[in-house]
Structure 1
Amino acid sequence: MTHDLRMLPAAVVAWGAAAWLVTAGSVAALALVAAGIALAMVAARFAPVRAVALVGVCLAAVAASCAWRLAVVEHSPLTDLAREHRLATMDVEVVRDARPFSHQGRDAVVVEVRVRRVVTAAQAVRVRDRATAFVDGSPSDLVVGRRLVVVGRLSPSEASEEAAVIDVLRRGPADRAAWWWEASERVREGVRRAVSHLSDEPRALVPALVDGDDTHITVEIEEDFRRSGLTHLMAVSGTNLTIVLAVVMLLARSAGLRRRGLWVAGALSIVAFVLLARPDPSVVRAAAMGAVGVAALGFGSRGGVRALCWAVIGLLFLDPWLSRTPGFVLSAVATGGILLLAPLLTRRLERWMPRWCALAIAVPVAAQLACTPAIAALSGEVSLVAVFANLLAGPAVAPATVAGLVGGLLAVAWAPLGQACGWLAGLCASWILTVGHRAAAMEAASLEWHGPWQVLLLVVPVATWLVVRLSSRPAVFVGLALGLVIGIWRPPQTGWPPAGWVMVSCDVGQGDATVLPVAAGEAVVVDTGGEDAPVDRCLTSLGVRTIRLLVLTHGHADHVDGWRGAVAGRRVDQVVVGPSGGPQVPGAARRVAGAGESFVLGETGAEVLWPPAHAAEGDDPNAVSLVLRATVRGVHLLLGGDVGEEAQRRLLRSGVGVTADVLKVPHHGSADQDDRFLTEVGASVATISAGADNDYGHPAVSLLTRLRQRDVRWWRTDVDGDIAVVVRDGRLVVVTR
């Protein structure tokens, strides 16, 4: 099959130009408009390169859109007021539903708005600028289309498409939106009512599948779906729209509609879907990809490729900032991969298997191969279980989505009837959740990519060629697939400890034990957990025969009761404890340490940051837990013991430096953490020592959310086992066992 690729150069050039211009400013955009027009005029004069004229036209169009929108923001009165941090009264319209977050221990929401009128003490002007507003509390009326008056302090926005950030001090009631937005909100509320009787995880996932409402998706679900390659199910994507379109097309065909009627039905379905799921960038992107599917229905995949290129150009003209969003990149690339590769792979597979089975395999394989370079560039890792997870979860996605949508429509009229459909949707969602959790729990669920992502632009085509060639040979294809499954399920063990390790968080259950290298066979051990066997196993696996320094941060059992396992068969040179004390280790000198003390042992140096010298033995042991800032081969590590929010604030007020590359999260990841402390540490990697299925809720969801907001990657001993932080080629990587 041949594909119409004539629009591909124009789409690629327009995409690259938009990605650069949204950060370059309106002057650069105007210059590129002129360059695009000149290219089109010159190329149009010469027949051999006349096709290049289309590239120039598309480039000029996207650049003109960038120039106009950037100039509007740069010269807006609202932008000037934001630079002056003025207090203003504003008439705003909600353009994206409010999203909850925690701000200094209080509930708050962030909502994107369009400012229509702004009034200050000196002026009143009408504008139409985008802004982000922060509102205290948990308001439920800030939904798309509604208008309200707010009083807030303006500040500049870091996003080039926004004129300001608004810290809302007071707000009025929200007016009702247009009837179509209110209708869509009633359906969304109906979906939530239809699954309100389900357990927590299915109740959170079904609205995300149906209309992209991920408000109650937990960090655990988000992380497991990311590792298993199912993240696209939690947000509105082409998958959601494809399911809706498929049902509508099936009903339309049953009603006797043909090509033109099917196009009309498909277009109306896309409009209704956008209203229901909101016109967010991901939804607009999904709608465009759905339009590509409708085009492919009429013209075949050859026309589908052309339609995809036009969709990319059209979306970038309407919203150039889409060019830099991960969702747009992955959606466009995946759609292209499916259009180009899936038909070829399907034809070769169906030589020896049913067509439905060939399609079920070809589509996720094609999408995954196409997206691999982009995924590696965005996340630094590639999911190895994505294809298998999507194959297993895929059959449940359509019934969950359809049943959830029907349940939401029925719940608008009568809640019990909607809940019957909601039960079916929840059953399917439970299967998807099971697949996601189990796939993410596999030791080799994902592979970290350490090299430049551009290398994959060469590797992936070779891998694609091999997959296509081998797909018509059932014995080889099935054998390789089974080999990959076995490798993921039981991966070969790499050497332990990994070369270049600078810290290991031992899996000692609900407790703490951290090891820092000193020299071959020698280490500093910070805490020992609550039982003898786990810490003994960890130290033995690391080859530790001598403990140069045993630090017991505080006297709680989950940090010190495993000391016998730590010292069994090992020499211990010295023991350091905090003000709350600790056990007396036979044959080892013991002393109480406080802030300001430091030591250097081989590769490891450390300073005690907390508690202050006046801390007393009778104080709360957590509050006077030793906090160490260690340095191993140039890597800074902050070991936080069990200090809570108040102690963290006092530590910051003391003025000592807490910045580190790696944070051993205090108190097993409890919610008792200070936001400013996490920000000041500025770590890129965090380890959390917690016991599986512990009764304390460790690590807390709020803590994991705050780490993610700060772009901190975390690992947990209850999920990952022993955690080694390793330096490779100047980069920090994490190896688990």
Structure 2
Amino acid sequence: MRIERWSWLDLRLAPAAATVWTGTLAAPLLPVPLLAGVAAGAVLAAVAVSQRSRAPAAVVLLGVLAALAVTAATAAVRESAREASPLAGVAEGRRTVELVLELDADPTAVRGVGPPRAVVQATVTALVDGATHTSLDDAVVLFGPADEWRGLLPGQVVRVRAAAAPAAAEEGLVAWLSARAPPVPVGEPSAWQRAAGGLREGLREAAVRLLGPQAGGLLPGLVVGDTQAMDPVLVEDFRRAGLAHLTAVSGANVAIVLAGVLAPLRRRAVDRRVQALVAVLALAGFVVLARPSASVVRAAAMGAVTLLALATGRSRAALPALGAAVVVLLLVDPGLARDAGFALSVAATAAIVLLAPGWSRRLRARGWPPVLADAVAVAAAAGLATAPLVAGLSGLVSPVSLPANLLAAPAVAPATVLGLLAALALPVVPPLGEALVWVAGWPARWLVVVAQRAAALPEGATGWPAGTRGAVLLTVLLLVCGWLLWRFPRARPLALAALVGVVVLGWPLRQVTRGWPPERTVLVACDVGQGDALVVPTAPGEAVLVDAGPDVGPVDRCLDRLGVDTLPLVLVTHLDADHVGGLAGALSGRDVGVIATGTLSPAEDRAGVLDATVRRAGAERAVLVPGDRRTVGTATVEVLAPPPEVATAAVPANDLSLVVRVTQRGIRVLLTGDLGGAMEARILARGVDLRADVLKVPHHGSADADRGFFAATGARVALVSVGADNTYGHPTARVLSWLAQQGVRVHRTDREGDLAVVGDADAWGAAVRGPDDGAAASGTATAGTATAGTAVTGAAVERSPETAVGGHVAVRAGRRERRSCVTPCRCGRSTPRTDLPPARRGGGGGAAALARGLRRAGSRAREPP
């Protein structure tokens, strides 16, 4: 692929594209009359400018005014139609009605509390309200049981009874829906969608059967964006290695497909009009196969622009094409203005178009082979342009992203092309299709190896401030470093050596300077967001794990920080996703003995999934009942609840949480799962001995609690495992006030990061790893709000006042007392976390919405109340 020298840059459409983007962000904040006025004013201004001047600057200004007029007018029309829709009135009243809707994309499984759910993007075509039948064309998002919606195809029309809730204007929806009955199909999806669904399913089944779960799950995701069979641990590895774009359809996929289709035609000098027609047909077919979702359409547009710049050699047309693509996509789908993926695509495409050609020429001038020069230039340009956005979104900076992408690049095109050919051949000539899948498996396996090895590097991904602040900070840092390297060429080898030193030596140095985990650790509450994951170290490299949080990444990293590679006992308190969703990440790559639960409800339909996880881990499954005791290393686990007789189908899963007391070196910790107040009172009424030194607050501090249960524990320290900015209001003021009145010191993972109970019966306390910003400790920490980097103990009796607990702070006779560190390097500044908690999708409109997207890592769909 040859990159030609730029002769000039055509930036005339850039101001218009920026105007459309800015206007689309601001439009939801403005009333309809004002939008109409802005459109009219822009038209009048454009007429005046056109009559006075035809200079180039005036032409650009005309484009800006036209873009502003069109953006404001279309926004006014959309908002007027949304407000006038009968469905909007139904949503305001939160009524349940019967609807006819057409699916816009495949139903997607979402994590959450309770049975598996699916989220469906759809368009409501009719509202049936009593005897009234109203035709509509309203965009909605629907939630429903995953089993009922799985298998439905885009374009399929269904009839469903659903409860409606209002949606904000900036969400681009008329209503949020929650299904109250199974969908009833009305007719069949189109032949195109049925054929595409069959091809996707055939490729997925053949890949998993022939290549195994890892490479077999990756190949359909790489080819057509089908990640249903992909190992969640591998997904996390790709994210940490900076290769997450390979697990979804991107502009690179489109460019590879179009290049593969056009290459033989160009070699035979086929007429350009025929080439264009073939390219359009191939692009349309690929979009149907990969599903015409917003992300795929976006990828098609950006991929076409990239191909125009790099494959056809017409680099002058690339920037106007990019500007036009941004304008059209934003006008057709305004929601893209707040879509971080769209911002990443535009940034990467612009960088490839603007920077890659020049960088490639300079590398080739220094003797680099053209193919390698192009690959390095493209990967470096795209990686540097998107790094600030990625850092702001995920709170991670990956120094290994560029080398990982360079190592992965040679395998992407062969895997994509061979996988696509296999998908087309499987229904026609199955042996040929299977042979192609087998061949495509080799580059897919290489991608798996690259991702796993890059993610396994201790400093492969390091913590960074999330949000707009982090994105701006990294942008400034990259610009300054780039200028210094350009201005002082002799510093480049030193910079490369420094980067290698950070990756190779950074982790050991950080272990020495941050002192985590503290010595004599009894228990660690991992910061995994809105969920529980508690680790009881029992021997070097060995621990008992109680729950695993909602996602595979945070619990895996917490166990890595603690040096745990063996789990003799894993306790799952109950099967809600915020306690078991990360189990695969905890088990992956570790030796596992027994995975145990309490007595489950006979109506529990998620036990089969747990059993399959146990089998894959090569572990033993056990059910524990009150009176059972397990000794693992230095720790003793006593089971207190639930008794088998209470495990009926009518009892919620939360109230059947496994309740255990862990005792280690004389310190007792009561772990309570997600118990509710009624069950807490029943346990107390049965006379169960609940005495403990440390209480893991039930259900993340929910108001559904029993005050007598808390008092019966006699705990002096309480740990709350809770996610930052959670939508449930956890921990509630009611629970915090109870604990404060009982003299209990509270520590929270959302404010203090990982929490550790350290010491022994003679001298013990609590240590905190520190919040995200890694600020230095200063001042006095109050209950529940410990300062970053400060270790604050619970009210324990210290018999040896000369010795600080775990090198941090000790408490004597219920009174906090500051001590000097036994190991000075363990106090002071803490290190930023590398496992930001996944957060909910934010509301709000305009630029704040995009900024909020940058502040939050891992956007997850949430069903409205």
Question: TM-score, normalising length from structure 2?
Answer: 0.63
1:349 is aligned to 363
Give, in angstroms, the shift of residue 205 of structure 1. 1.2
Give, in angstroms, the shift of residue 162 of structure 1. 1.2
2:350 pairs with 1:336: yes
1:84 is aligned to 93
2:298 pairs with 1:280: no
2:160 pairs with 1:150: yes
The amino acid that maps onto 1:322 is L
Q: String of CA shifts for 1:384-404, please: whole Å, max 9, x gaps.
A: 111111011111111111111
**Distance change >3 Å, CA 58–CA 137, structure 1 → 2:** closer
1:698 is aligned to none
**Distance change >3 Å, CA 582–CA 377, structure 1 → 2:** closer
1:414-433 alignment runs, 5 A limit: 414-433=429-448
1:164 is aligned to 175
1:306 is aligned to 320
The amino acid that maps onto 1:362 is A
2:262 and 2:338 map into 1 onto residues whose CA distance is 33
1:20-59 alignment runs, 5 A limit: 20-24=26-30, 26-47=32-53, 49-50=57-58, 51-59=60-68
Tell me, what secondary structure is at the counterpart of 1:213? coil
- The 8 Å contact of residues 753 and 833 in structure 2, kept in 1 or not, is answered as no
**Distance change >3 Å, CA 298–CA 428, structure 1 → 2:** closer
Q: Which moved more, 1:100-109 or 1:648-657?
A: 648-657
**Distance change >3 Å, CA 104–CA 649, structure 1 → 2:** farther
1:686-697 alignment runs, 5 A limit: none
1:68 and 1:264 map into 2 onto residues whose CA distance is 34
Give, in angstroms, the shift of residue 314 of structure 1. 1.1
1:488 and 1:246 map into 2 onto residues whose CA distance is 36
1:546 is aligned to none
1:728 to 774, 788, 791: 774
Give, in angstroms, the shift of residue 375 of structure 1. 2.0
Give, in angstroms, the shift of residue 104 of structure 1. 4.4
- Alignment length (residue pairs): 615
2:187 and 2:633 map into 1 onto residues whose CA distance is 55
Q: String of CA shifts for 1:347-388, please: whole Å, max 9, x gaps.
A: 100122111111111101001111122223322332211111
**Distance change >3 Å, CA 87–CA 384, structure 1 → 2:** same
2:78 pairs with 1:64: no
The amino acid that maps onto 1:101 is V
2:259 pairs with 1:214: no
2:124 pairs with 1:115: yes
Tell me, what secondary structure is at the counterpart of 1:177? coil
Q: String of CA shifts for 1:395-435, please: whole Å, max 9, x gaps.
A: 11111111111111111124333222112222222211221
Give, in angstroms, the shift of residue 298 of structure 1. 5.2
**Distance change >3 Å, CA 383–CA 321, structure 1 → 2:** same
**Distance change >3 Å, CA 583–CA 154, structure 1 → 2:** closer
**Distance change >3 Å, CA 626–CA 94, structure 1 → 2:** farther
- The 8 Å contact of residues 505 and 515 in structure 1, kept in 2 or not, is answered as no
Tell me, what secondary structure is at the counterpart of 1:557? strand
Q: Which runs of 5+ in 1 are unaligned?
A: 517-525, 543-552, 564-577, 596-608, 630-638, 667-676, 684-709
Aligned-CA RMSD value: 4.3
- The 8 Å contact of residues 531 and 561 in structure 1, kept in 2 or not, is answered as no
2:373 pairs with 1:358: yes
2:318 and 2:99 map into 1 onto residues whose CA distance is 45
Q: String of CA shifts for 1:243-293, please: whole Å, max 9, x gaps.
A: 111111112224432433322222222211111111211111111113313
- The 8 Å contact of residues 459 and 506 in structure 2, kept in 1 or not, is answered as yes
Q: String of CA shifts for 1:443-498, please: whole Å, max 9, x gaps.
A: 2223433355334444433444556678xx7x975674455234313326446576
- The 8 Å contact of residues 98 and 110 in structure 1, kept in 2 or not, is answered as yes
1:654 is aligned to 706
**Distance change >3 Å, CA 317–CA 467, structure 1 → 2:** farther
1:561 is aligned to 635
The amino acid that maps onto 2:304 is A
**Distance change >3 Å, CA 316–CA 461, structure 1 → 2:** same
1:100 and 1:7 map into 2 onto residues whose CA distance is 39
Question: TM-score, normalising length from structure 1?
Answer: 0.73
1:4 is aligned to 10
**Distance change >3 Å, CA 581–CA 245, structure 1 → 2:** closer
**Distance change >3 Å, CA 162–CA 580, structure 1 → 2:** closer
- The 8 Å contact of residues 148 and 172 in structure 1, kept in 2 or not, is answered as yes
**Distance change >3 Å, CA 349–CA 7, structure 1 → 2:** same
2:755 and 2:447 map into 1 onto residues whose CA distance is 23
Give, in angstroms, the shift of residue 319 of structure 1. 1.0
2:142 is aligned to 133
1:192 to 204, 208, 216: 204
**Distance change >3 Å, CA 216–CA 627, structure 1 → 2:** farther
2:671 and 2:752 map into 1 onto residues whose CA distance is 30
- The 8 Å contact of residues 88 and 175 in structure 2, kept in 1 or not, is answered as yes
Give, in angstroms, the shift of residue 46 of structure 1. 3.7
1:320 is aligned to 334
The amino acid that maps onto 2:389 is A
**Distance change >3 Å, CA 87–CA 463, structure 1 → 2:** same
1:413-562 alignment runs, 5 A limit: 413-450=428-465, 451-465=469-483, 480-481=495-496, 483-491=498-506, 493-494=508-509, 513-514=523-524, 529-531=537-539, 556-558=630-632, 560-561=634-635
**Distance change >3 Å, CA 336–CA 468, structure 1 → 2:** farther
Tell me, what secondary structure is at the counterpart of 1:530? strand
- The 8 Å contact of residues 368 and 386 in structure 1, kept in 2 or not, is answered as yes
**Distance change >3 Å, CA 388–CA 650, structure 1 → 2:** closer
**Distance change >3 Å, CA 615–CA 395, structure 1 → 2:** farther
2:461 and 2:705 map into 1 onto residues whose CA distance is 41
Q: String of CA shifts for 1:210-240, please: whole Å, max 9, x gaps.
A: 1111223343223222221111111111011
Q: Percent identity?
A: 30
Tell me, what secondary structure is at the counterpart of 1:145? coil
**Distance change >3 Å, CA 276–CA 582, structure 1 → 2:** closer
Q: String of CA shifts for 1:148-193, please: whole Å, max 9, x gaps.
A: 1112222223463111222222321353222222222222122213
Give, in angstroms, the shift of residue 736 of structure 1. 7.2
2:195 is aligned to 183
**Distance change >3 Å, CA 104–CA 6, structure 1 → 2:** closer
Give, in angstroms, the shift of residue 653 of structure 1. 3.6
**Distance change >3 Å, CA 591–CA 150, structure 1 → 2:** closer
**Distance change >3 Å, CA 529–CA 118, structure 1 → 2:** same
Q: Which moved more, 1:75-84 or 1:132-141?
A: 132-141
**Distance change >3 Å, CA 101–CA 458, structure 1 → 2:** closer
Q: Which runs of 5+ in 2 are unaligned?
A: 1-5, 527-533, 544-557, 563-572, 574-627, 638-658, 673-679, 711-716, 733-748, 757-766, 776-786, 790-830, 836-865
Give, in angstroms, the shift of residue 626 of structure 1. 5.4
**Distance change >3 Å, CA 429–CA 323, structure 1 → 2:** same
1:670 is aligned to none
2:691 and 2:434 map into 1 onto residues whose CA distance is 50
Give, in angstroms, the shift of residue 583 of structure 1. 6.4
2:323 and 2:542 map into 1 onto residues whose CA distance is 57
1:605 is aligned to none
Q: String of CA shifts for 1:573-629, please: whole Å, max 9, x gaps.
A: xxxxx99574675xxxx899999xxxxxxxxxxxxx999755756x8xxxx695956
1:495 and 1:107 map into 2 onto residues whose CA distance is 40
1:663 and 1:485 map into 2 onto residues whose CA distance is 38
Tell me, what secondary structure is at the counterpart of 1:490? helix
Tell me, what secondary structure is at the counterpart of 1:166? strand
2:522 and 2:378 map into 1 onto residues whose CA distance is 45
Q: String of CA shifts for 1:661-690, please: whole Å, max 9, x gaps.
A: 985589xxxxxxxxxx9956479xxxxxxx
1:162 and 1:317 map into 2 onto residues whose CA distance is 15
